[in-house]
Amino acid sequence: MYLDPGDRPSLTPQLAVRVAILGGVALIAFALVFFRLWYLQVLSGDSYRAEANDNRIREIKVQAPRGEIVDRDGRVLVENRVALAVKVSPKLLPEGEAERRAVYRRLGEVLGVRPKTIERRVDRQLAALPYANATIKQDVDQEVVAYLLEHSSDFPGVEPERIFVREYPQGQTGAHLFGYAREVDQDQLDSGEFPGVAMGDIVGQDGIEREYDRFLRGRNGATRVEVDAMGRVRGRRPKPREVEQGRQLRLAIDLDVQEAGQAALAGRLGGFVAMEIDSGEVVGLGSAPSFDPNFFSRRFTTAQYQALFAEENGSPMVNRAISGSYPAGSTFKLITAVAGLEGGLITPSDVIYDPGFVQIGDVKFINAGEQFNGPVDLRSAMSVSSDVYFYLLGREADSTGDGLLIQRWARRLGIGRESGIDLPGEQVGRVPTPEWRNEWVRQGLSDENWTVGHNVNFSIGQGDLLTNPLQMAIAYAAVANGGKIVKPHLGLRIEDGNGRPLQELESPPARRVQIADEYREAILDGLYSAANEPGGTSTPVFETFPLDIAGKTGTAETPKGDQSWYLALAPYPNPRYVVAATIEQGGFGAETAAPAVRQILSALFDVDDNGEIVAGTAQD
């Protein structure tokens, strides 16, 4: 059906009026909005833009001093000192390029810095913060600053300023523990390694400084200024944001023990660890040669930095206590003994005859120094360090089951795996297996597949084994404490600036391994005999020591010469501490490492130069 046009409804006068009114209102509203926007953006745009530019608040960062690090008794290990820096104020520099370069030239002569270097530093820093002073040189002598102030008319825009510089008062002692702090670099900023950090902030780069940076760093303050569009300071200064110093960190380290260990190494290449066997608290840990972390608080050249890693200098930056990779020599016999006993290959009373050598296949394995020991059981084998006893045990272990008995126990006791210590840079070393060696052959890195001879060498800590003092200390502690694999740790707690505790640093729970008490006692008795009874490998070193100890020497053959080892548990029969030391090219264990450990034990138990315990000391 189609509608006739004449049937459509017509527009009434009332409706027409309403439409006209609504259209007029809409037109007026649109006109108001249009003219307001036109007024704001065209007529007043420049004015508002200028006001916005003229009222920008800028912050000039004030670096927060880092928290101090103290030893277990509160003695300062790392602190801050106030130093002087020479800075350039952009608003006070001469405007002419020639005049500025003349200032740079005169300043360079006073500071010993090339004028071009000064110009680059200023340009780079002002590009990032055009309203802040640019640092030219930090830690400047007072005499230099006095000269600049006396001749200030010759150095317009040059302003000395007090700053905080990280100070390591112990010098090279404990350097590998403390690490160092330095300005964050661009790669670290890009990686997000330090959340909340900006260019110019000081962060921990190594050691404890890095591990606990989040507590030590503190919170930066800021001087707030109003600047115009050109970066010129104007108007009043808003209230500054206060600096908050970093928290204080208390370590388990005993400074006396640390100093004794460093002195015991006497600059020879090596490392040491002193640790509580039940808690895992590390009271001393060091490496030699060492370095002075104060080096990183000042400018240095690339050549000077590279020298710290150079092998010809002994690689001072390497922490040999946790990153060294060495064969352990006869100190490893404790682990082989645990494996043999728990694996049912021997009992403590089994006796073998040691003629000074044993023939295994086509190879003749000989005792160190071709020593003849005759009949030996486990206890006497540990005491005189009979290689033949453990050669035979290594041969038996290689032909039993899957041939990995000693390897499994080595890993259970902490060898070849991360300890979890709160220090960066730990190396896990290596526990050799047939699969590992055979893979080396496939890769062309060796031409010898695994044979029983490799396990024989492994049983006395030679061959392909690689470990370090910390791992060996953990293994000895486990035998002494009943099978607890402790997590070594340095941090005790976080404190405020007055030493009041804020947060205890709890160590992760320890693993446990099952070692029969009778086996532990037999091994420890052998170690006691080795350090106290006639014929013991370290009796000459400890026979005059005022405390009984249990200990084991080790002499590891390396391409560079014999490496000296010693592990001690003290006091016997209820040991509290384990001390491990190794010295590269140190000869027999009793010659260098054992005397070094005695020196560390003397500090632990306050034994004086006359070999007597000072009354009322750590022995109690």
User: Can you give the pLDDT at residue 615?
Assistant: 62
pLDDT in tens, 496-555: 988 999 999 988 788 999 999 999 999 999 999 999 999 999 999 999 999 999 999 999
* Whole-number pLDDT of residue 3: 46
Collect all residues with Cβ–Cβ distance below 8 Å to 449 and sequence separation of at least 6.
437, 438, 441
Mean pLDDT on 134-152: 85
Percent of the chain predicted with pLDDT > 90: 61
Q: pLDDT, tens digit, for every residue of 565-604? A: 999 999 999 999 999 999 999 999 999 999 999 999 999 9
Q: Which residues pair with 558 in a beta bridge?
A: 561
> What's the confidence (pLDDT) of residue 192?
86
| pLDDT computed for residue 2 by the predictor | 46
Q: How many of the other CB atoms lie within 10 Å of CB of 8?
A: 7
Between CA 509 and CA 513, with CA 512 as vertex, the angle to 5 degrees is 165
pLDDT of residue 49 exceeding 70: no
Residues 122 and 266 in one domain: no
In a domain, 52, yes or no: no
User: Residue 172, by phi and psi: left (phi above 0), alpha (psi -120 to 50) or beta?
Assistant: alpha
The proportion of the chain whose per-residue pLDDT surpasses 70, expressed as a percent, equals 88
pLDDT at 618: 46
User: What is the average per-residue pLDDT within 241-253?
Assistant: 91
- pLDDT above 70: residue 139: yes
pLDDT score recorded for residue 291: 95
> Phi and psi (nearest 5°) for 395?
-65, -45
- Answer positive or negative: Cα dihedral of 435, 437, 441, 444: positive
d(CA 182, CA 200): 9
> What confidence tens digit (pLDDT) does each residue in 52-97 have?
554 555 555 677 899 999 999 999 999 999 888 888 887 788 888 8
Strand partners, 495: 248, 501
Q: Residue 245 falls within a domain, yes or no?
A: yes
Q: Output the domain CATH number for residue 389.
A: 3.40.710.10
Q: Is there a single domain that holds both residue 380 and residue 427?
A: yes
203 lies in the same domain as 241:
yes
Contact residues for 61 (Cβ-Cβ < 8 A; gap 6+) = 132, 198, 200, 220, 221, 222
Indicate whether 183 belongs to any domain: yes
| Lowest pLDDT segment from 123-132, 280-289, 414-423 | 123-132
Kindly state whether residues 315 and 462 are assigned to the same domain: yes
Closest C-alpha to 348, from 514, 476, 524, 474 = 524
Average pLDDT value for residue range 352-380 = 94
Q: Is residue 403 pLDDT above 80, yes or no?
A: no
Q: What angle do CA 267, 272, 274 make, to 5 degrees?
A: 140
pLDDT at 165 over 80: yes
125 pLDDT above the threshold of 80: no
Pair 236, 308 in one domain:
no
Residue 54, in any domain of the structure: no
Number of structural domains (the chain) is: 2
Q: Residues 333-353: what's their mean pLDDT? A: 97
Residue 620: the pLDDT is 42
pLDDT the model gives residue 612: 87
* Distant-in-sequence, close-in-space partners of 259: CB < 8 Å, separation ≥ 6: 170, 173, 603
Domain extent for 573: 255-604
Tens digits of per-residue pLDDT, 271-282? 999 999 999 999
Are 157 and 185 in the same domain?
A: yes
Residue 491 lies in a domain: yes
